[in-house]
Chains A and B, each alone.
Chain A
Amino acid sequence: MNVKLKKILALTLSLVMACSLCLTACGNQEESPEPSGETVNVNYGLSNAWDSLMPYYSVSGSNYSRIIYDKIYDRLAYVQADGTCLPRGADSWESADNGYAILFKLNEKAAFHDGTPVTAQHWADTLTLVTDPACEVFGRTFLSGLAGTDDTGAAVAGEKLGVDVVDEYTLKLTFKNPVIPNEFLVDYNREIYVLPTHLLAEVPAAELMTNELWLAPVGSGPCKFVSELAGSNLVLEANENYQLGAPGFDTLTITVMDKANLLTALIAGDLDYYAFGGSVSEENRPIAEEAGFTVLEGTVPATFYELMLNNESISDAKTRQAINLALDKELLCLQSAGSMGFVTNTSILPGTPYSGPAAENAYDLQGAKDLLAESNYAGETLTLACTSARASLAALIQQNLNEAGLNVQIETVDSSTMFAGMYDGTYDMAVASHTPTTLPLWFTASRFTEDNNLFRVADLSYYTQILDMIQQETVEEARVALVDEFEAYLAQEVPFVPLWFYYSLHVQSNTVTGIDYPSSSYCNENVWEWSKGE
């Protein structure tokens, strides 16, 4: 027995040890991503992982996924922070058919990573595939403006899809309503990519999304795929034949790390740059500057904060107005955005033709109490949902509202639960932030439809009407007047409470030049103009 026992014990122990050593060695080789030494590599940090590498199959539709697709796949244009659009996959574009269509003249030098030139046919086939109802796309509402599609962006059988190949390098998109090309691009450029449809000819639409190709994708963007460790690491190499020029590096290594570690890693030299635009909080700005980095102040606000309201449970407009007055937005802004934020009472960015006069802080505690007394608020507890990142902000909001006489309870949940809860009416309020664009309806157009009545407004008829009118009006002066009317209505009804805009601070890379930091707010980066020394 003793001998047998000894043998078994010795065997087990050595097995365990051997296994771990073996796998350490194996694991090490597996992780060894790319050759070091002579190649110029840019280290790129990201705080959240992307979904799949198939751009139309992103479950979350998050900006983190989009910023990755932006590298591998090509888009029609490159949108800068102030809303101007530069050529990218398309050289130029113009309005056609009285504003109902856009003609895109494509760049003839564009080619896929396997050498095949990109033609209008590829774009058209991509859009046809993506609008095919049999194709399991996650969210194609961005295509619902195209003629021949329904509200979800799926092609309607029997109707002609508004996608045409005029000649080899000219693509024509036709819409249900008149569209201003620049506005179309500002709104949707970040969602539209061209796929290598010549490689997908044999694949049925239903299997398109899970096809093996996406494990090692082929696109026509400024970077080519090399390897991926899902959720953690992505290695790309420069596309030397990119139509706007080859990126000034050999490889781009994208690593996912906790948000709090991005700045540390940049300072330590582990990273050259991190998305989005090297943004840093005001608190951490001195740390970056002391470490020898220049911090750039953004000129266009990159974030919009709002308090979502459940118009069904908070049914009296007076209660909602009271909430608006009870919030000390300056204090809230100070807590959350430091000196880089400014209070707003509208979702429209300042400095556009549609912006109204500058906002004054409407904080009026007495006014709030008076309004509350007149309203039908009967002392019930309102739930305020927020994500853990905004928990501190929510606590301050709760205090403000308590002072005015509202009972508020905070629920800290994750992002998806929060939106789901606002959507089905579980919560009464929620704090959220979004990336604004320069268009006046960037926030409101999608949130007051029957299909997506996020604020649970009882009667959407006014909203539907005014939004339609604004979208169909092409004369700017008349549009401005309509938008003003809409804004006045919003100020009266307060379906949501705009809080503030926030300018980003960008930590500039000391090793890579040519980076256009602020444009990352439109989920695109000009990697073809980046250059790393040596």
Chain B
Amino acid sequence: MKRKQHPVLKRLLADRKAAFCLAFLALEILLLLILPLFLGQDPNLTDKTAGFWAPPSSEHLLGTDDVGRDILARLLYGGQISLLVGYLSAILGTLLGVPLGLLAGYKGGKWEYWIMRACDTFQAFPSLILVLCLVSLLGPSVWNIILVQGVLGWSSVARLVYGSTLSVKEKEYVEASRALGATDRAILFRTVLPNVIAPVWAAFPMKVGRAILSESSLSFLGVGLRTPQASWGNLMQNALELITLTTRPWAWIPPGLCIVVTVLALLLVGEGLRKALNPRGSR
């Protein structure tokens, strides 16, 4: 089983675009964690000498915001949070969705019916509405948003796993295991799971990307992470003011670009993964 990973990784890294993006993502995480320590600015401290809305200077590379706080520091710390929310939401959704999909596909019958109905329920909904309602109910803390986005993300993963499980469960090696007397649980986790997990891996980066986009949209609208907690989304809220939109592009364009670039990199890694996992398949 272990041998299976290496060829995939090799193929992935051989794909130049995907490898570059992977490196970029790793570098980004590193930068976001280390740079703030070097630059030493506090994202929540008002600089009384610089004042409010100071333009970029050597002191404040991206200037100060409406409370006199260093924008670059907020961008970096906000990035940490945005990425944290993105990755953890995707992981949570995957952890929830995989077992449910397996169960539905393998056991069939009532399990299949109800889990798939639940899938329908969750997917039927424009998720923004559900997230909006839940977050306004639970309160806009970082963990609540991770929880909400994660829990609402289980259905896409479950459906993927379900589909794969259906086809795998009829295969000979599964039959063989059953004939040998293995328990259902053993079959599920040792035999079926490794063979259905591939599409989940391939979809994972995109999932992270979607989570980042969703969180930033919510924060921008003012219903996700709220100031003073910085996040790439709410850093752009000031752009709704005409004067900031027109005269202070340094305040709102960088966070937007960060989001675009990060999600783009995630997308390309995802595509690379898809190709690496399925080299003979079509685009």
Q: Mark A334-345, 1 if CB is under 8 A from B, else 0.
A: 110000000000
A331 within 8 A of B: yes
- One of A105-113, A215-223, A392-400, A466-474 contacting the partner: A392-400
A260 within 8 A of B: yes
CA–CA, A331 and B45, complex, Å = 14
Chain A residues contacting B26 (CB-CB under 8 Å) are none
Q: Is the CB of B46 within 8 A of A260?
A: no
Q: Is the CB of A388 within 8 A of B226?
A: yes
Partner of B45, one of A283, A287, A399, A411: A399
Complex: chain A residue closest to B241, CB-CB: A260
Q: Is the CB of B67 within 8 A of A396?
A: yes
CA–CA, A390 and B67, complex, Å = 11
B111 within 8 A of A: no
Q: Is the CB of B52 within 8 A of A335?
A: yes
Chain A residues contacting B241 (CB-CB under 8 Å) are 260, 283-284
Q: Is the CB of B227 within 8 A of A258?
A: no
B249 within 8 A of A: no
* Count, chain A residues at interface, CB 8 A: 22
Chain B residues contacting A410 (CB-CB under 8 Å) are 228
Known interface pairs A395-B67, A396-B46; A388-B242 also in contact (CB < 8 Å):
no
Q: Is the CB of B222 within 8 A of A263?
A: no
Q: Is the CB of A258 within 8 A of B240?
A: yes
* Count class of interface residues, chain B: 20 to 34
Chain A residues contacting B228 (CB-CB under 8 Å) are 391, 394-395, 398, 410
A264 within 8 A of B: yes
Q: Is the CB of B227 within 8 A of A391?
A: yes
Partner of A392, one of B45, B48, B67: B67
Classify the interface of chain A: helix, strand, loop or mixed.
Answer: helix
Q: Mark B147-183, 1 if CB is under 8 A from A, else 0.
A: 0000000000000000000000000000000000000
Q: Which of A335, A399, A411 has the most CB of B within 10 A?
A: A399
CA–CA, A388 and B240, complex, Å = 13
Known interface pairs A395-B228, A410-B228, A412-B140; A287-B242 also in contact (CB < 8 Å):
yes
Q: Is the CB of A335 within 8 A of B243?
A: no
Complex: chain A residue closest to B52, CB-CB: A335
B66 within 8 A of A: yes
List B126-161 residues whose CB lies under 8 Å from chain A: 139-140
CA–CA, A322 and B68, complex, Å = 24
Q: Is the CB of A399 within 8 A of B140?
A: no
Task: Tell me the minimal C-beta distance from B123 to chain A in angstroms.
Answer: 21
Task: Tell me the minimal C-beta distance from A381 to chain B in angstroms.
Answer: 14
Chain B residues contacting A412 (CB-CB under 8 Å) are 140, 222, 226-227
Partner of A284, one of B46, B67, B242: B242
Q: Is the CB of B227 within 8 A of A395?
A: yes
Complex: chain B residue closest to A400, CB-CB: B46
Chain B residues contacting A392 (CB-CB under 8 Å) are 65-67, 227
Chain A residues contacting B242 (CB-CB under 8 Å) are 260-261, 263-264, 284, 287
Task: Tell me the minimal C-beta distance from B279 to chain A in angstroms.
Answer: 33
Complex: chain B residue closest to A398, CB-CB: B228
Chain A residues contacting B46 (CB-CB under 8 Å) are 395-396, 399
CA–CA, A398 and B228, complex, Å = 10
Partner of A283, one of B68, B222, B237, B243: B243
Chain B residues contacting A283 (CB-CB under 8 Å) are 241, 243
Chain B residues contacting A399 (CB-CB under 8 Å) are 44-46
Complex: chain A residue closest to B239, CB-CB: A260
Q: Is the CB of A395 within 8 A of B44?
A: yes
Q: Is the CB of B243 within 8 A of A287?
A: yes
CA–CA, A335 and B52, complex, Å = 7
Task: Tell me the minimal C-beta distance from B228 to chain A in angstroms.
Answer: 4
Task: Tell me the minimal C-beta distance from B227 to chain A in angstroms.
Answer: 4
Q: Mark B211-251, 1 if CB is under 8 A from A, else 0.
A: 00000000000100011100000000100111100000000
Task: Tell me the minimal C-beta distance from B243 to chain A in angstroms.
Answer: 5
Task: Tell me the minimal C-beta distance from A397 to chain B in angstroms.
Answer: 10
Chain B residues contacting A335 (CB-CB under 8 Å) are 52, 66-68
Chain A residues contacting B237 (CB-CB under 8 Å) are 388
CA–CA, A394 and B229, complex, Å = 12
- Residues of B that sit less than 8 Å from A by CB: 44-46, 48, 52, 65-69, 139-140, 222, 226-228, 237, 240-243
**Given A395-B67, A396-B46: 16 more A-B contacts, CB < 8 Å:** A260-B240, A264-B242, A284-B241, A287-B243, A335-B52, A388-B222, A392-B65, A392-B66, A392-B227, A394-B228, A395-B44, A395-B69, A395-B227, A396-B68, A399-B45, A412-B227
Pull 28 A–B residue pairs with CB atoms less than 8 Å apart, ordered by A. Answer: A258-B240, A260-B240, A260-B241, A260-B242, A261-B242, A283-B241, A283-B243, A284-B241, A284-B242, A284-B243, A287-B243, A331-B48, A335-B66, A335-B68, A388-B222, A391-B227, A392-B65, A392-B67, A395-B44, A395-B67, A395-B69, A396-B46, A398-B228, A399-B45, A399-B46, A411-B139, A412-B222, A412-B226
Shortest 3 CB-CB contacts between residues of A and residues of B: A412-B226, A391-B227, A395-B228
